[in-house]
A and B are shown apart, each in its own frame.
Chain A
Amino acid sequence: MGGLPANRTVNGFAVVDPKIMYVAMRDGLFKSTDAGETWKRTGGELKNLAAVAINPKKPNEVYVATMDGKIYMSADAGMKWKKQQ
């Protein structure tokens, strides 16, 4: 699990292809492309994340919810994000 902030709460988790995982944390969104062995922060300035989900029909489409109720969507597997409301 290298690369995730140590001893910090993980609020949300999402996986479709078992190699590609996302976790939602207060520190932001983290992504693994090797089934959770290593993690890298993605999603730019996104912070205070409560939950994450992947569209099973379009695995590049990823949604996150912030703790204060905002929803963001990425159509390119976490690179660019657009606020939805």
Chain B
Amino acid sequence: MKRKFYLEIVLGLVWILSGSEVLGLQPLYAGQKNHKNARADFEHIHALGIDADGRTLFLGAHTGLFRRENGGRSWQKVALPASTSHPDVMAITPDPKNSKTIYIGAHEAGVLKSADGGATWKEINSGLGGVDVHGIAIDPNDGKLHALVRDKGEGIYRSTNGGGKWIRVDDGPGGEVKGLYSVNISTGMGGIFLYAPTAEGLKRNPDCF
């Protein structure tokens, strides 16, 4: 009886200490509780992106979107709209000309856009044939967007008004595509090149479909 009592005290102490910084468990628990220093939540990282001012590093993972400011050490989980039931963030595309504008592609939520540096987000999927978005490319010259959709509605979609409306323009590289990037190399045909990392290597195609 006495022994059990002592055991309970010891277990109680362990429980109290494990909830504090005393046992050095703070980063893990902090990540799960309030999303500060949320490294413990990273798994299946898909994307990294830095805003146009070079201040905020965004990280996209199976568990959502995270941000870190000014080369600091602490990560914060970014709140996405409640309708984004499965926030598997596949692509992060900061607007190179406007540090406040960030686009992300999510596995089952399509394209989301923030116009306030990542504080609030809106789904912009009008015209997209599906919501499994694995890449978003932004033309550094005119801000034109290309989104890569997989599975349902597979293909490349273009928007010339910041994602307000998408139009399907190409079948895309097909297969397991990991992203889509506009690269400012002239094709000589009035456009630039799109690059796509894929399961079969790096592919490129002129964007003037």
Contact = CB atoms under 8 A, between A and B. Distances in A.
A21 to B, nearest CB: 8
B120 interface: no
A4 B202 contact: yes
Given A4-B202, A36-B204, A65-B45, A56 B185 contact: no
B43 A10 contact: no
A38 interface: no
Contacts of A12: 47-48, 178-179, 197
Residue with the highest number of chain A CB atoms closer than 10 Å, among B195, B197, B198:
B197
B59 to A, nearest CB: 6
Contacts of A15: 181, 183, 195
Per DSSP, chain B at the interface is strand
B96 A56 contact: yes
B46 interface: yes
A85 B73 contact: yes
Contacts of A4: 201-202
Contacts of B178: 9-13
B142 interface: no
Interface string A9-30: 1111111001001010000000
Interface in B1-57: 39, 42-50, 52-54, 57
Contacts of B197: 9-13, 23
Given A53-B50, A58-B54, A13 B195 contact: yes
B151 interface: no
A11 to B, nearest CB: 5
B54 A13 contact: no
Interface residues of A, number: 37
A50 B202 CA distance: 14
Given A53-B57, A67-B45, A1 B201 contact: yes
Contact of A84 (B42, B49, B73, B196): B73
A79 to B, nearest CB: 19
A63 interface: yes
B189 interface: no
A18 B202 contact: no
A42 B42 CA distance: 25
Given A1-B202, A12-B179, A18-B185, A56 B48 contact: no
Interface of A: 1, 4, 6-15, 18, 21, 23, 35-36, 50-58, 61, 63-67, 69, 71, 73, 84-85
Interface of B: 39, 42-50, 52-54, 57, 59-61, 71, 73, 94, 96, 176, 178-179, 181, 183-185, 195-202, 204
The 5 closest A-B pairs by CB, nearest first: A57-B54, A69-B42, A10-B197, A53-B48, A50-B45
